[in-house]
Structure 1
């Protein structure tokens, strides 16, 4: 979230320090100064060009929006393109061959035409003005930093199960964040998470530090990402390792092109906090872009934890997700904390890693494994955090609970979230753990079914789902606290297949009182009993149709 204003003392201190440094090294010419009015109207970004002569070893750019009311964003391009994006920070931009200020890319300093990128984040005071000072040095002043090219690490674990993580975390490479990667991982591990996606604002420079972290944390996984930040909405480029141009409105830069660029990397474009419309407290946070749902690979239905304030907009975010699904898209539910401070934030919306938690059913704990699980739609979101109830959704021909001793995927499960299944009739089974005192329900095509009380741990809620006459039905399961969603699965998709599996008629329980045969877990048997009647009716109708032929 962005500040309403920024202290001028920060800029003054930076200018004084930089002047002293330049004087001390004696290797810089007088700064090139640009001071002018912000262009009125037109695109959201404009450019201030400057020339870098051969032999330049370091470029520094100091910038100021000259206003307590206006907010301008700043970034830098060299003759070959992207060199970084600092957003609304007041920190100077410094780049040389071996080092760069945070969010900027170190590397050779090519001679030629460079440009400062200026974004009109918030312009309420007119005429808006800016000041830019460019200093070109023949001797670097910024010390080298240990950086390495990103290489995906080998799988951390190799078993098919749900892996818990957070899909929206910032590091210091977002200039509005302060957390180090080490601090983020420490909190994640404390909360029982196994992976994090580091989604810094319009930059990929965080990847330079992943390799060293993976060496120190062999059991933990960092996933690449970008929070693709525009003034009409934020998206998450999950798995992206290449910069994606965010300057919507510039020639050739569109939201459709951005989605295609993300997909071309094998990454996933998800919409972050789509209904978070809180004005200047979060500039451009609510989603306003018109994008074909087929290009959307996820929706962040939870941002922050429920107890941290997300209750104000989580149900509207779920409704936003359902509206996209109603248009025929198959998009999974995702969640992310948007933590910038490794859990130390205070104030109106204190984000904390793991709140919410996204669980991805994957064949292994690797970047590709998590991406494949999300692309399939195999996700569950715990909207408040890792201690929320877990809900595992399965499709099966049998109404009874699994018999495996480890309680994991039952041998008779035919489908999990993200699967599309052709059936005649099928049972949907929601296994709820750590949910006693809550309720559980199914949601069909966005419309909630009746909820039932969770009375044991684990608890199984079962319903019969006949195939639709046309198209597909989508089913998810939700655990509720105070009649509001707390844990939400992605969907199982059902279509009619005359040769597909058919639900078995259920046997009655041993004592007729709703206790499952093992005497330890409970199943919502009312739905199963009604299922038996429904199956008989469906079979009767099928027989009549055959006799008419």
Structure 2
């Protein structure tokens, strides 16, 4: 008798959707709408509506046993079943109990704001099984050679609600651009993981790296190598430090995206407005595809914010990402294709772990317009420990290729030193450096074309002892570097140009 009642209740629920509607709470950036899932449910569908063209709500789903997907601004319903799910969501058994539709208040212009949700509970699946879904495990090294590997750290597939490219198209296009790896950075979801193993098997020359674009309403960041969901409710149940620590606990790196890309409602939350906590971030996107298409040069604001972070003692590597959502097809004037910009990482092999290690050691070079841009290999006469040369003095050497007829310069603690003409295809410029008595100095190299930087390296840091790490050195006075006197590199040209750090005029607080 009890079983008959349970089956009758389940059938009734399957036939009649749950209708959940109400007023959007005035406080906070997120809220939850709970509903009950009875035993015997094998698939559920959530239809949602923000009921006003002036408002934008984001949508996700949590089960009693955890995260089941985040569609963000997906307009289509979310469907979750035992063997299949719609994009941005996870397949698997549907545990009975209290589930929640998680709702983010992306934009509220019309008040009082309202929402309507319909939940359809089914005892028979409507989605075809997806046998391509497999538990994720990192691919073995695709190459065992220590070298510079070219890739894109900011790529979206159709698992992001605002993107449309399947992994097959994305991988094929990335290889056509000469890339060795691509980092999949879907908005606040891990659903791409289910498809990476199968896709990787069909593309043995391109490493598909897991990641998440941690998309908050006060800034976006990439969690490179992330395999677990972290709620984007910063300052509403989770602090930014707790979120960064949660990603690092997975072995992932945290990198701020397009920090000064402030275009209002065209990209909600794109500009970074959060305070970086103690412990800092691992990297920053100093070049983003949108900036490249709009201006054809590195954003001085992004470089300035990077320099400001470094001046606070954070060791933060430079990365670039296209932010491609369409696998290079039908791009508008604000968008760039995969590989534009390109980031080079020096790694011991082509694997996820080795790429992350290369970033931790700041062995990265960002090429603004793709793999064919000039290359710079910045090294030291004293081998660094990680990204830091621990010695009273050393000679830094920048080997520049592909920049003949253009210019190169060192940047010391955020101050740009005089430009040097590049007179050969294989050009070397050197700089003798002395560690400060207290704290640490940092040096990077920029290649300039037509009055703007085209290639930018991460930094080599200089300190007398390890306990000086994290203590900023002084901003240098304008000085004339010594002549190199080696190989094809001429002496430095005479000049007095030095550019103060743009970030000193642009501090961002959350």
Range class of TM-score, shorter chain:
0.7 to 0.9
Candidates 409, 430, 434, aligned match of 2:398 = 430
1:435–1:457 CA contact under 8 A, matched in 2: yes
Which residue is 1:390 aligned to?
A: 375
Which residue is 1:414 aligned to?
A: 383
Cα 1:337/1:426, change in 2 over 3 Å = same
**Structure 1 length normalisation: TM-score?**
0.82
Cα 1:507/1:72, change in 2 over 3 Å = closer
Which residue is 1:118 aligned to?
A: 103
Local SS of the residue matching 1:525: coil
CA shift, 1:425, in A, is 2.9
Mapping of residues 515-534 of structure 1, within 5 Å: 522-526=488-492
Candidates 243, 256, 265, aligned match of 1:258 = 243
Structure 1: how far apart are the matches of 2:308 and 2:412?
13
Mapping of residues 115-514 of structure 1, within 5 Å: 115-145=100-130, 146-251=132-237, 253-292=238-277, 294-304=279-289, 307-309=292-294, 311=296, 314-396=299-381, 414-415=383-384, 419-496=387-464
Which residue is 1:11 aligned to?
A: none
Local SS of the residue matching 1:85: strand
Which residue is 2:472 aligned to?
A: none
CA shift, 1:118, in A, is 1.0
Candidates 45, 65, 71, aligned match of 1:86 = 71
- Give unmatched runs, 5+ long, in structure 1: 1-24, 397-412, 498-505, 510-515, 529-549
Cα 1:385/1:312, change in 2 over 3 Å = closer
Which residue is 2:505 aligned to?
A: none
1:162–1:362 CA contact under 8 A, matched in 2: yes
CA shift, 1:486, in A, is 1.0
CA shift, 1:312, in A, is 7.2
Structure 1: how far apart are the matches of 2:104 and 2:278?
27
Which residue is 1:54 aligned to?
A: 39
- Per-residue CA deviation, residues 359-396 of structure 1 (Å, 9 max, x unaligned), is 11110000000011111111111122212111111112
- Per-residue CA deviation, residues 194-248 of structure 1 (Å, 9 max, x unaligned), is 0011010101110111111221122220111000011011111100111111122
1:60–1:134 CA contact under 8 A, matched in 2: yes
Which residue is 2:3 aligned to?
A: none
Cα 1:78/1:167, change in 2 over 3 Å = same
CA shift, 1:527, in A, is 7.4
CA shift, 1:438, in A, is 1.5
CA shift, 1:423, in A, is 2.7
CA shift, 1:495, in A, is 1.9
Cα 1:233/1:508, change in 2 over 3 Å = closer
Cα 1:115/1:479, change in 2 over 3 Å = same
Cα 1:392/1:351, change in 2 over 3 Å = same
Cα 1:429/1:31, change in 2 over 3 Å = same
**Structure 2 length normalisation: TM-score?**
0.88
1:294–1:329 CA contact under 8 A, matched in 2: yes
2:384–2:390 CA contact under 8 A, matched in 1: no
- Per-residue CA deviation, residues 83-132 of structure 1 (Å, 9 max, x unaligned), is 10000111101111001111101111111111111110000111211111
Structure 1: how far apart are the matches of 2:221 and 2:413?
25
Structure 1: how far apart are the matches of 2:70 and 2:397?
47
Which residue is 1:408 aligned to?
A: none
Cα-Cα RMSD: 2.1
Structure 2: how far apart are the matches of 1:373 and 1:525?
31
Count of residues in Structure 1 that have an aligned counterpart in Structure 2: 467
- Give unmatched runs, 5+ long, in structure 2: 1-10, 466-481, 495-510
- Per-residue CA deviation, residues 124-179 of structure 1 (Å, 9 max, x unaligned), is 11121111111111111111112001111110111221110000000111111001
CA shift, 1:37, in A, is 1.7
Cα 1:335/1:52, change in 2 over 3 Å = same
Candidates 94, 99, 102, aligned match of 2:84 = 99
